[in-house]
Structure 1
Amino acid sequence: MEIRLLVTFEKVAAHLSFTQAAAELKYAQSSVTSQVRSLESSLGTELFDRLGSRIRLTEAGERLVPYARRIIELSEEARAAVAETDEPAGTINIGTMESLTSYRLPELLELFHHRYPRIKLSLRPTLGDETRRALRQGVYDIGFLMERETEHTGLRSEVLAPEPLVLVAAPGHPLAGAGGLTTPDLADAQLVGTEPGCPYRDLFENELRERTGAPPPFMEFGTIEATKRGVAAGLGVALLPRMTVRAELASGVLVALPWEPPFRLHTQVAWREGKRLPRHVRLFIDETVRLVREQES
């Protein structure tokens, strides 16, 4: 079996799409299809069921996936060991979310840009479920999570820091001058938030639904910056990581409401359990842990 055929097979298996695999590998789709056919021919079995415009792994394909990943990883490890120099090099595919990219990672990205120019960082914007799935499938090398849980099936993770949340509003909002707020006090408030799938948005929404018995009204914005602008304009209140609103709270553009979230989130860096981490990936994890913990000290 040729390594390049296994690489192509693994990408198709991860995405369950010849089109997406071709785009990631920078091949023509016909080349991806041809390589998978060649691998199937060499193994004497079909690896995918073709269902019209969709595909799925056959039983043989399912069995091949972990072997393909192990062979690919060992090949990459061998190549790195032979070519290893004093300067670490390689590509790291990273799944992350907007709040972490914008407020936690700039110092880390700057460090790697200047100190380790031969390490290429490819950032992919995804949320928790999608990030965990991509890590398990081998699409991402590293993933950043902001989760309540700190253990994830099939993954190893390192907790970087607790991520405090704060409910914010414009200074003139009716709740801005209130005393200690309870969850039922928020039942009639217009809520401003990011899209569903965002961990703190989903936990907030579930808490309000359980306590008030009705789905809360959310005005959805695509980004944290847009959410903050909407809140500052008086459109409603929003629950956001404190790190994302420090400047607005300090300047008085936003105020913190006296409501304590009944859940805690932790920012984490994660990778697939059992994965042999190349030198440059291990370096990235170590520097991430060091820098984030320095930020918190």
Structure 2
Amino acid sequence: MELRLLVTFEKVATVLSFTRAAAELGYAQSSVTGQIRALESSLGTELFDRLGSRIRLTEAGERLLPYARRMIELAQEARAAVADTGEPAGALTVGTMESLTSYRLPPLLELFHHRYPKVRVALRTTAGDTTREALRQGTYDLGFLMEEETAHPGLESEVLAVEPLALVAPPGHRLAGRDRVAAADLVREPLLATEPGCAYRDLFERELAAVAPVEFMEFGTIEAIKRAVAAGLGIALLPEVTAAAELADGSLTRLAWRPPFTLRTQLAWRAGRRLPAHARLFAEQARRLVAEETGGRASAA
């Protein structure tokens, strides 16, 4: 089996589209189709079921996929070992989320930009479910998660820090002076949040829905949520790190509601995969920088 055919097969199997695979690989679609047919011919079996405009893996294709990924990874490792100049190099696709991209990762990205310029880091901002699936499929090399659970099927993960949450409101809010705020106090308030799929939004909604049905005004970014809260449109639960500046300057105030759940920022990768050297370096530096910023807060409170 030629490696280039396995690379094409893995890409088609990941995106389940000949057209999209061709675009991502820089081939004509006819070339992708021809390579898949050549691989099927050499194996003596069909790897994809063609269902009109859609395709899916056959049982044989499902069995081949993990072997193809392992062979591709080994080839990449061999290439890196032979070409090793002592300077980390390679492409790295990392799944993350807005709260980490904007508020935790800039020092890490700056470090790699200046110290390891041959490591090409591409960030993909996606919800936790999407990040986990992309890691399992091999689309992402590493992924940052902010979840309550730490066990993820098909993945290995490491807790980097417990992520404190803050329930924020505009200054002078009617609940701001209370020593304790209960969920029953919150269900009558206008609630602002990101879209469903965000772990802390979903957990917050679950807690309030146990008291009474609630609805959220949804925003696309955390910055938009903070501005809306400051303007008096409602209250919002956010990772503390994203609202630290506004809480410090008084443009937002923190309400005395303690979440009955714990979120943990985690770094994850596909189970059984041996990460290449530049990915291991990225993980090491992420671990170090988050520990320095959070004071090593890597266990539940």
Normalising to structure 2: TM-score of the pair?
A: 0.95
Give the match for residue 19 of structure 1.
Answer: 19
- Partner SS, residue 34 of structure 2: helix
- Partner SS, residue 6 of structure 2: helix
1:24 CA drift (Å): 2.5
Contact 1:144 1:270 in 2 (8 A): yes
Matches within 5 A, 1:217-236: 217-236=215-234
Does 1:61 pair with 2:61? yes
Count of residues in Structure 1 that have an aligned counterpart in Structure 2: 295
- Partner SS, residue 269 of structure 1: strand
Q: Following the alignment from structure 2 to structure 1, what is the Cα–Cα distance between the partners of residues 17 and 124?
A: 18
1:29 CA drift (Å): 2.8
Give the match for residue 126 of structure 1.
Answer: 126
Matches within 5 A, 1:93-172: 93-172=93-172
Give the match for residue 293 of structure 1.
Answer: 291
Q: Following the alignment from structure 2 to structure 1, what is the Cα–Cα distance between the partners of residues 125 and 24?
A: 15
The letter for the 2-side match of 1:73 is: E
Q: Following the alignment from structure 1 to structure 2, what is the Cα–Cα distance between the partners of residues 19 and 255?
A: 50
The letter for the 1-side match of 2:266 is: Q
Q: Following the alignment from structure 2 to structure 1, what is the Cα–Cα distance between the partners of residues 217 and 22?
A: 37
What are structure 2's unaligned runs of at least 5 residues? 296-301
Identity %: 70
Return closer, same or farther for 1:20/1:206 CA change in 2, 3 Å cut-off: farther
Normalising to structure 1: TM-score of the pair?
A: 0.96
Q: Following the alignment from structure 1 to structure 2, what is the Cα–Cα distance between the partners of residues 23 and 182?
A: 52
Deviations 1:100-138 (A, max 9, x none): 011110000000000001100011111111111111111
Give the match for residue 264 of structure 1.
Answer: 262
Give the match for residue 85 of structure 1.
Answer: 85
Please provide the CA RMSD for this pair: 1.2
Deviations 1:223-248 (A, max 9, x none): 11111111111111100000000000
**Which of these residues, 242, 245, 248, is aligned with residue 246 of structure 2?**
248
Contact 1:172 1:234 in 2 (8 A): no
The letter for the 2-side match of 1:186 is: L
1:200 CA drift (Å): 0.6
1:32 CA drift (Å): 2.1
Q: Following the alignment from structure 1 to structure 2, what is the Cα–Cα distance between the partners of residues 19 and 123?
A: 23
The letter for the 1-side match of 2:291 is: R
- Partner SS, residue 27 of structure 1: coil
Q: Following the alignment from structure 1 to structure 2, what is the Cα–Cα distance between the partners of residues 257 and 20?
A: 47
Q: Following the alignment from structure 2 to structure 1, what is the Cα–Cα distance between the partners of residues 221 and 88?
A: 34
The letter for the 1-side match of 2:31 is: S
Give the match for residue 194 of structure 2.
Answer: 194
Q: Following the alignment from structure 2 to structure 1, what is the Cα–Cα distance between the partners of residues 26 and 151?
A: 35
Q: Following the alignment from structure 1 to structure 2, what is the Cα–Cα distance between the partners of residues 26 and 189?
A: 52
**Which of these residues, 266, 278, 281, is aligned with residue 279 of structure 2?**
281
Q: Following the alignment from structure 1 to structure 2, what is the Cα–Cα distance between the partners of residues 28 and 124?
A: 26
1:26 CA drift (Å): 2.7
